Amino acid sequence: MAGTSLLALIDDIATVLDDVALMTKVAARKTAGVLGDDLALNAEQVSGIRAERELPVVWAVAK
């Protein structure tokens, strides 16, 4: 009986860890887009790149 409860607990922990890994992967994808946008904004502020050059700068950094 105790062995069954322990196995059920370990299974629940494994399920939670799988969910956390999946959510982390999704969050990393969403964050990458935000960081790319911030890179273009910072490039304009730091080195004087015009606003119409933002996307080419982001593309060059992403390569």
Q: Would you place residue 12 in the very low, low, confident or very high pLDDT band (cuts 50, 70, 90)?
A: very high
Domain range for 55 is 2-62
Half-sphere exposure of 3 (CA within 13 A, CB side): 0
| pLDDT exceeds cutoff 60 at 19 | yes
Residue by residue, DSSP assigns 32-52 as HHHHHHHHHHHHHHHH---GG
Q: Total structural domains in the chain?
A: 1
pTM: 0.46
List the structure tokens of 33. 């887009």
pLDDT single digits (tens) 21-44: 999 988 888 776 666 555 555 555
d(CA 49, CA 40): 9
String of b and e for 10-39 (b: at least 16 CB within 10 Å)?
A: eeeeeeeeeeeeeeeeeeeeeeeeeebeee
